Amino acid sequence: MTAMALHGVHHTARPTWKLKETVEFYRDKLGLKLVHAISARGWGPIQHPDFLHFFFESGRGSTIAFFYYIGHAQPEYLRAVDCFDYDAIHTAWSVETEAELVGWKDALKMKGVEVVMDVQHELIRSIYMRDPNGYLVEITFQNRPFTPLDHADAARTITAAIAMEERERSGGEKFAGIEAVWNEKANRLDTEVEWV
Amino acid sequence: MPRVYVLDVLEFKPVVDAAKTMPDVQLSGPKLGYYRIDTRGDLILNRRAMKLPPAVWYGAMTGGVSGRIAEWSMDSLRIVSKG
């Protein structure tokens, strides 16, 4: 059996209702090459409209793709809303140096693209912008690789958080905030390690 | 006594460095990749003094907290005994 391994992103895809503006943004402003476009009759589900499905190259073999459904009005449930949980759906591209990230920020400004945030996270610095549909797009520089310690800590955090989720699901205390996770992690570390 | 665990990575090093200057503090570790900070009284941290960016500050207790977070603003964190 072939080993189950993945080798990076081929594409992510979202719908667009602004064809011209989408191409102008990704190809002309961000400089991503338009590398493939499918134009087809609707097929599959009977109500599927005719469509375009097109791809912009975003480095290391990855692409960002869009669907444009011809004659299909944008449903209310797919309208971009200015809210954190909507913005959770986003694409983040890598650059290799912080200088490159700053270069992107300057270049975007020159091209009239507003950088809406520039945030130093724990081990990445990211700039954010919005595309013509209102989708959040991110460019990020990671200043150190993930280490085995990051992996182990991630497992501890998520294990503790799942325990809190399970507790609520089984009728126990509500999972109301992150403090419960931190308490749980501390409880486990208290007993796992001989500290004195 | 309030207690926090701090992951031994570059981003959170300012928290460990701050602990070294606190009165009545016991700093242990790192063990399993965590420092442990125990304080006799309230455990108080200041973001500006540590020069932590906000996105790092609000995740800086991810190692673990034994105690109750009594105050957490943009610049100030106070953890008190749970009891």
The tokens for A36 are 């493939």
pLDDT of A3 higher than 90:
no
Contact between chains at A186 and B4 (C-beta distance less than 8 A): yes
Q: Which residues of B touch A123 (CB under 8 A)?
A: 9-11
Is there a single domain that holds both residue A39 and residue A14?
A: yes
Is there a single domain that holds both residue A28 and residue A58?
A: yes
Confidence of residue A194 (pLDDT cuts 50, 70, 90): confident
- Stretches where chain B sits below pLDDT 50 are none
Number of structural domains in chain A: 3
In a domain, A196, yes or no: no
Q: Final residue of a domain: which of A56, A79, A102?
A: A79
In a domain, A41, yes or no: yes
Instruction: Quick: pLDDT tens for A32-83.
Output: 999 999 999 999 888 899 999 999 999 999 999 999 999 999 999 999 999 9
Confidence of residue A108 (pLDDT cuts 50, 70, 90): very high
Q: Which residues of A touch B29 (CB under 8 A)?
A: 195
What is the pTM assigned to this prediction? 0.93
Q: Final residue of a domain: which of A47, A62, A79?
A: A79
pLDDT of A196 higher than 80:
no
- Name residue A193's amino acid: V
**In this predicted complex, what is the ipTM?**
0.97
Q: For residue B52, how many C-alpha atoms fall within 13 Å in the half-sphere facing its CB?
A: 27
Is there a single domain that holds both residue A92 and residue A105?
A: yes
Here the CATH number for the domain that contains residue A12 is 3.10.180.10
- Name residue B51's amino acid: K
Is there a single domain that holds both residue A94 and residue A155?
A: no
Is there a single domain that holds both residue A140 and residue A153?
A: no
pLDDT of A133 higher than 90:
yes
Cβ-Cβ contacts under 8 Å for A6 (sequence gap 6 or more): none
**What was the pLDDT predicted at A58?**
98
Domain around A163: 148-191
Q: Are A166 and A143 in contact (CB under 8 A)?
A: no
Confidence of residue A1 (pLDDT cuts 50, 70, 90): low
Give the residue from chain A lying closest to B3, CA to CA: A186
Distance between A160 CA and the closest CA of chain B, angstroms: 10
Is there a single domain that holds both residue A5 and residue A70?
A: yes
Give, for A15, the enclosing helix (H) or strand (E). Answer: strand A11-15
- Name residue A185's amino acid: K
Is there a single domain that holds both residue A1 and residue A38?
A: yes
Distances in whole angstroms, Cα of residue B53 to Cα of each of A152, B12, B57, B58: 24, 11, 6, 9
Q: Are A137 and A129 in contact (CB under 8 A)?
A: yes
Residue with structure tokens 């390690």? A193
Is there a single domain that holds both residue A84 and residue A126?
A: yes
Q: Environment class of residue A102 by beta-carbon count within 10 Å: exposed (0-12), middle (13-18) or buried (19+)?
A: middle
In a domain, A3, yes or no: yes
Is there a single domain that holds both residue A2 and residue A20?
A: yes
Helix (H, G, I), strand (E, B) or coil at A36: strand
Q: Final residue of a domain: which of A46, A63, A79?
A: A79
CA gap A66, A34 in Å, rounded: 11
Closest CA to A103 of A122, A119, A120, A127: A127
Is there a single domain that holds both residue A39 and residue A84?
A: no
Is there a single domain that holds both residue A28 and residue A75?
A: yes
Is there a single domain that holds both residue A157 and residue A138?
A: no
CA gap B69, A40 in Å, rounded: 57
Instruction: Quick: pLDDT tens for B55-76.
Output: 999 999 999 999 999 999 999 9
Interface residues of chain B, partner chain A, Cβ below 8 Å:
3-5, 7-11, 28-29, 31-34, 36, 53, 55-56, 59, 61-66, 68-69
In a domain, A92, yes or no: yes
